[in-house]
Amino acid sequence: MTKIPDMQKSADSRRIAIDKVGVKDIRYPIVVLDRARKEQHTVARVNMDVDLPHHFKGTHMSRFIEVLNLYHGEVSIENIEVILAEMKQRLEASCAYLELEFPYVIEKLAPVSKARGLMEYQCRMTGILGDDFDFVLEVSVPVTSLCPCSREISERGAHNQRSLVNVQVRYTEHVWLEELVELVEACASAPVYSLLKREDEKAVTEQAYDNPMFVEDMVRAVTEKLKEQPRISWFRIECENFESIHNHSAYAQLEHTRQTGGCG
C-alpha cells in the first residue's frame, strides 16, 4: 500500500505553540457515583483537549475518540486521571484536559404529601493532567429566593423568584453530588421540587416567606456550610436570581481556598 502522509505531524515553521487543541461537544455515555443506588448512567457532553508543541502542524483528532472508546461504559469520576494520561501518551502532549457536562437525577420527596418526583441537576467534571492532576466537581442547583426588602416594605406579600446556585469544589476526599445539592438547598429561601400537591405548595410558599434571602445572603450561607467541610480545599460559588419584578438578574460570586498550616 502507498504510505499515507501524516500532515498533522509535519513541521510548522512559525514556532507558535497552542494551549489547547481538541474536540468539543461529543455526546457520550458515562457512569456517575450515586449515593442511593451506587451508580447512575447518564449521557455527557464531552470536551477533550491537549496542548500542541510549536513544531507540530496539528493534532490527530481521531485519537481523542479512540481514547474515549477504550473506556466505553467505564467513563467515570474514578478513572478520569487514567483517561487523561492516555490522552497525553497517545497525542504526545505535556498537558491534557477533559470536561464532562451531564444531567444528574435525584429522587425528591414533597415536604408534606411525600409525593415522589425526579429533579434534574446540571453537573460538570473537569480534569487537567500536566505535571500534576487537578479535578473540579461542579453542580448547578435551582432554588427559590424571596426578597427581604420586598417583604419588609410591602403590606401584602413579597416578590420571589427562582434562583440558580452554581458550586464548584476541589476536595481531598470524595464528595457526593447529593451532598452539594442538599447543602445549597438548605441555604435558600426554599428548595425547588418537580412535584407538589396543594399542601406542599402551601408549605413551600410559607417556608420561603419565613426565610427571605438576598443573592448575597445565599452566597454567604453556602460559604459558611462549605467551610465546615474539611474535605473541601477550594470552592467557587455563583448565585443568580432571575428577578420576577425586574428586567435584570441579581448576581453574586465568591471564591475561597482553604488555608493549610500556620497560625490563626
Q: Looking at residues 129-133, what average pLDDT do you find?
A: 97
Q: Looking at residues 60-69, what average pLDDT do you find?
A: 92
- Check whether residue 118 and residue 141 sit in a common domain: no
pLDDT exceeds 50 at position 264: no
- Check whether residue 88 and residue 159 sit in a common domain: no
Quote helix, strand, coil % in the chain, to nearest 5. Answer: 25, 40, 30
Within a domain: 204: yes
- Check whether residue 145 and residue 91 sit in a common domain: no
What pLDDT is stored for residue 196 in this prediction? 97
pLDDT-derived band at 9, boundaries 50, 70, 90 = low
- Check whether residue 186 and residue 243 sit in a common domain: yes
| Higher-scoring residue by pLDDT: 61, 214 | 214
What pLDDT is stored for residue 58 in this prediction? 72
- Check whether residue 126 and residue 142 sit in a common domain: no
pLDDT exceeds 60 at position 67: yes
What pLDDT is stored for residue 57 in this prediction? 80
CATH number at residue 249: 3.10.270.10
Within a domain: 13: no
- Check whether residue 167 and residue 62 sit in a common domain: no
Whose cell is 501518551? That residue is: 89
Within a domain: 250: yes
Q: Looking at residues 52-75, what average pLDDT do you find?
A: 87
Alpha helices in 51-197 (DSSP H): 61-70, 80-90, 148-153, 177-185
Q: What is the mean pLDDT of the chain?
A: 93
- Check whether residue 84 and residue 164 sit in a common domain: no
Within a domain: 9: no
pLDDT exceeds 80 at position 239: yes
Q: Looking at residues 205-217, what average pLDDT do you find?
A: 97
What pLDDT is stored for residue 262 in this prediction? 43
Within a domain: 264: no
- Check whether residue 147 and residue 249 sit in a common domain: yes
Q: Domain total for the chain?
A: 2
Question: Which of the listed residues 131, 165, 184 is the one where a domain comes to its end?
Answer: 131
- Check whether residue 157 and residue 243 sit in a common domain: yes
Within a domain: 217: yes
Question: Which of the listed residues 131, 153, 188 is the one where a domain comes to its end?
Answer: 131
Within a domain: 99: yes
- Check whether residue 59 and residue 158 sit in a common domain: no
pTM, whole model, 2 decimals? 0.91
What pLDDT is stored for residue 53 in this prediction? 82
Q: Are 4 and 42 in contact (CB under 8 A)?
A: no
Which DSSP state fits 243? Answer: -
What are the distances in angstroms from CA 14 to CA 22, 43, 52, 54, 93?
20, 40, 13, 7, 19
CA distance 95 to 151: 52
Q: Are 140 and 164 in contact (CB under 8 A)?
A: yes
Within a domain: 124: yes
- Check whether residue 58 and residue 142 sit in a common domain: no
Q: Looking at residues 128-141, what average pLDDT do you find?
A: 98
Q: Are 116 and 200 in contact (CB under 8 A)?
A: no
pLDDT exceeds 60 at position 18: yes
Q: What is 1-27 written as a DSSP string?
A: -PPPP-GGGSB-TT---EEEEEEEEEE
- Check whether residue 101 and residue 208 sit in a common domain: no
What pLDDT is stored for residue 231 in this prediction? 96
Is residue 230 exposed (0-12), middle (13-18) or buried (19+ Cβ within 10 Å)?
exposed
Q: Provide the residue range defining the domain that includes 51.
A: 19-131
Question: Which of the listed residues 131, 163, 195 is the one where a domain comes to its end?
Answer: 131
